[in-house]
Amino acid sequence: MRLSLAKLLALSCLYEVSQGSPVPLGNEYQLQPYNIDLSSRVPRMLDLIKGTKLPAQPVYINTGTSAGISLSLLESFQTEWQTIFDWNREQEEMNKFNHYTAVIEGLKIHFIHERSEAEDAIPLLLVHGWPGSFLEFVPVINELTQNATTATGQNVSFHVVVASLPGFAFSSSPPVNWTVADTARVFNTLLTKVLHYDTYATFGTDWGAGIAYSLYSQFNNTVRALSLDFLPFQPYTPAQLAAENITLSPLEEFEQAEATEWENTGEGYFIEQTTKANTIGLALYDNPVGQLAWIGEKFVNWSDPNAGQSPSVLTHNEILRSVSLYYLSECFASSVVIYQQNANGFSTVYTKANNDAPLLFSAFKYNVGFWPPAVVAKTGNLVLYTNHESGGHFPGLDNPPALLEDLREIATYWSN
């Protein structure tokens, strides 16, 4: 029997992702390569961007971004979107990675899978949050697959998996009452049953931190290292820190103040999406400039003030690429549902995971949440805590070299 070229290519791709064990075409998870092609939707997006009328004068004058995204900044983004941004170029860059989909528990899960050539490479699952996507990790994926060394000179490289959360990008929308623990279970199936990794490490940020922590807690035989820059627990207040005699360094005091300010003034979106996800989802569903205002403000306010300047790669183009992905993949409404479905996703009650595997934590100066080492240690086997003088809520974009360095330290503590 002669196979078509398409089937031969599919077989080749499936062999690559199965760690040496060919997966039959009729496999139960329907694993197959995926190509991003949203170009047909771009003309409508550009027409809507061009046709969106903004106020002639700002409602709030000289407030910067304290009242939300400013009119001048939104106008700048709108102009750049129409005149400079090129979706086809960005899509071509995205498709340079190996994209796949698999069907797990009835959900189509999209993911990138890039393998290292090293035989002892560590499988690593990277988990994004909102308003992120797999694009958050694009600056570090290829570097992670390359041979490098840890701070102690140990060789390290990774087989990298970046999965899109249910309801994000090209992954199916989740059913009612779907929790981060459910996503963790599906992702564990992806790593162990679809890709055939016996053990793996994981990193999570924002909602992805909750998913990664749930993986660490639920699947202690397969998740053998956890790295985070965020916790699925409410940060301590100054009073709580004082009650436990936790003293802070000057950098930590700055981070604590920033986190307290964000808690006081930056959580309006959180309340809206947790209580009325459908309203905001439908209001902005077919409104690219509206999505840009809603999402772009988070990228701007949650990041290092020097965004776009090395080591940050969080340029205007990067923000437009992320918002375009949300609009063109029609996932905005389904992405915000994670808030309503996980209203207590950031708990006030700290628990320690039943896992002796190492926990590594990366703090970034301008992140919106802050947890000092003594607090992080309450949640797992903390072996390394690193605090960075630059970077914010999107470390793969805000400070890729620091995230790379921290993730590579997993190898120092890795053991199957």
Domain of 282, CATH number, reads 3.40.50.1820
User: Residue range 141-149: average pLDDT?
Assistant: 98
| In-domain check, residue 12 | no
Which residues make beta-bridge pairs with 124?
160, 201
Residue 126 pLDDT exceeds 80: yes
pLDDT category at 6 given cuts 50, 70, 90 is: very low
Q: What local confidence, expressed as pLDDT, does residue 66 receive?
A: 77
Q: What is the pLDDT of residues 344-392, one digit of tens each?
A: 999 999 999 999 999 999 999 999 999 999 999 999 999 999 999 999 9
pLDDT at residue 17 is higher than 60: no
Residue among 128, 182, 393, 406 flagged as catalytic: 393
* Rg of the chain in Å (alpha carbons): 21
316 contacts 80 by C-beta, under 8 angstroms = yes
- pLDDT, one tens digit per residue, over 213-240 is 999 999 999 999 999 999 999 999 999 9
Using an 8 Å Cβ cutoff, are 369 and 391 in contact? no
Residue type, 261: E
Nearest CA-CA partner of 131 in 165, 88, 102, 108: 165
Q: Is the pLDDT of residue 19 over 70?
A: no
What percentage of the chain's residues is helix, strand, coil (to nearest 5)? Answer: 45, 15, 40
What is the C-alpha to C-alpha distance for residues 285 and 173, in angstroms, rounded to an integer?
14
End-to-end CA gap in the chain: 42
Within-domain flag for 402? yes
Q: Which of 162, 163, 210, 187 is nearest to 339 (CA)?
A: 210
113: annotated active-site residue: no
> Does residue 375 lie in a domain region?
yes
Residue 345 inside a domain? The answer is yes
C-alpha to C-alpha distance for 273 and 276, rounded to whole angstroms: 5
Cβ within 8 Å of residue 281, ≥6 positions away: 332, 333, 334, 336, 337
pLDDT at 18 exceeding the cut of 80:
no
Residue type at 4 in one-letter notation: S
In a domain, 1, yes or no: no
385 noted as active-site residue: no
CB atoms within 10 A of CB 29: 16
Give the model's pLDDT for residue 26.
Answer: 53
Domain count, the chain: 1
In a domain, 114, yes or no: yes
Q: How confident is the model at residue 10 (pLDDT cuts 50, 70, 90)?
A: very low
Whole domain around residue 256: which residue ranges?
A: 30-56+67-413
Distance CA 369, CA 284 (A): 27
Residue 77 lies in a domain: yes
Instruction: Give the CA distances from residue 50 to residues 82, 83, 122, 195, in Å, rounded to whole numbers and listed in that order.
Output: 7, 10, 46, 44
- The arithmetic mean of pLDDT across residues 139-158, rounded, is 97
In this prediction, residues 147-173 reach a mean pLDDT of 97
Tell me what percent of the residues of the chain surpass a pLDDT of 70. Answer: 94
Which residues are CB-contacts of 20 (< 8 A; sequence separation ≥ 6)?
Answer: none
159 is catalytic: no
| Residues 341 and 178 sit within 8 Å (Cβ to Cβ) | yes
pLDDT in tens, 61-73: 767 777 899 999 9
- DSSP type of residue 208: H
Bridge partners for 384 per DSSP: 360
Say which of 216, 327, 339, 366 is annotated catalytic. 339
- Among the listed residues 206, 304, 398, 406, the single catalytic one is 206
Q: What is the mean pLDDT of the chain?
A: 93
The per-residue pLDDT for range 310-325, each reduced to its tens digit, is 999 999 999 999 999 9
Q: How many CB atoms lie within 10 A of CB 265?
A: 11
Measured between alpha carbons, how far is residue 154 from residues 5, 20, 123, 151 in Å? Answer: 42, 25, 17, 7
Residue 306 lies in a domain: yes
